[in-house]
Amino acid sequence: MRRTVTRLADGREIVYFDDTPGAPARTAKDTRDLPPFHPGSEIRRDPLTDEWVAMAAHRQTRTYKPPVETCPLCPSQPGRPTEIPESSYDVVVFENRFPSFSHTNGDGFAPTIVDGMDMVPRAPGNGRCEVVCFTSNHNSSFGELSVPRIRTVVDVWADRTEAMSALPYVAQVFPFENRGEEIGVTLSHPHGQIYGYPFITPRTERMLEVASAYHDKHGRPVMGDVLAAERAVGTRVIETSAHWTAFVPAAARWPVEVHVVPHRQVPDLPALTSAERDDFADLYSRVLKHLDSLYDRPLPYIAAWHQAPVREGRDLAWLHLEVFSVLRTKDKLKYLAGSESGMAVWINDVTPEAVAERLRNAS
């Protein structure tokens, strides 16, 4: 794989990852007249939950459901420059033009408090947000990628995780993909994102607390025991391979939810071996085919990588991918209503066992 780093017109970094033999050199210049890249965001600590909340008002003006002919993630064409200056690409990553977090937020903005309230600290929304375009084909999807291309994307995720982890203001790296309008996607081109958070996310904090308590009590990692039990029972297993198992968790929150877990405890994507990356690409391709066959239509989903924080909890975390959907039937959505949104108590409309059986039979 060839890696080429360059800059967009406003100074944002863009990185091309080429796996096609004989792919052209990436020398195209961004010809757009863009204003300087100075997004503004901050984070505030909620005194009732002790969780950070990001404020990024500049994102109100981000691109919203453009027609295909003006898609900013397609390759540039004569007279129509986009976020990607080249006329074609394999996989490309660039800094988000409308980021929730960016290191430029720290310029001249020292940590303080909100309106004299000592219990509500505020700080610059330092971090990094990147866009990952999986293919230049606007009408494709991740599930339609070849296994070798999925393998390239795994290497890209690992590359960017390493790069972001080296930034002193990033505490956790989160690669993810949103797919489908029902999920809230506003750009239909096949793409994902990577967030470099300036704090450890609440979900990860809680999972590490549970993992620590379980290890103290049993002397073993909780994910390892969950994985062994799911593989032994097999009722909820969707796909398995030499290095990975995909299963519907026994306490699934979402109407469609699959966890893809490596058989070896590793903290993050860079820690995967070449064989584990190859194996994941093949297995995940099969999992996505099951998902898209479930309702005989493209499944809207979120695919979220759970990685260890950059500087703590790395001996407790167990890398895994969580793929879930809000679609509970072919034409009905699962809404996060009062119990889920108000109290964080999830109520699932289907049993994990029933969903697992349907997914295994969907192909």
Fill in the DSSP letter of residue 293: H
Count CB neighbours of 204 within 10 A.
20
Nearest to 38, CA basis, from 24, 52, 21, 58:
58
103 is catalytic: no
Strand partners, 91: 17
CA dist 247 and 360 (Å) reads: 10
**Candidate list 103, 191, 243, 259, residue with the active-site label:** 191
146-156 burial string, b = 16+ CB within 10 Å, else e? eeebbbbbbbb
* Segments of 96-186 assigned E as strands: 112-114, 117-124, 128-133, 172-179
Exposure of 26 by Cβ count < 10 A (0-12 exposed, 13-18 middle, 19+ buried)?
A: buried
Task: Give every strand in the sheet of 244-247, ordered side by side.
Answer: 2-7, 13-18, 91-95, 128-133, 191-197, 172-179, 301-306, 320-325, 256-262, 244-247, 237-240
Task: List the catalytic residues.
Answer: 191
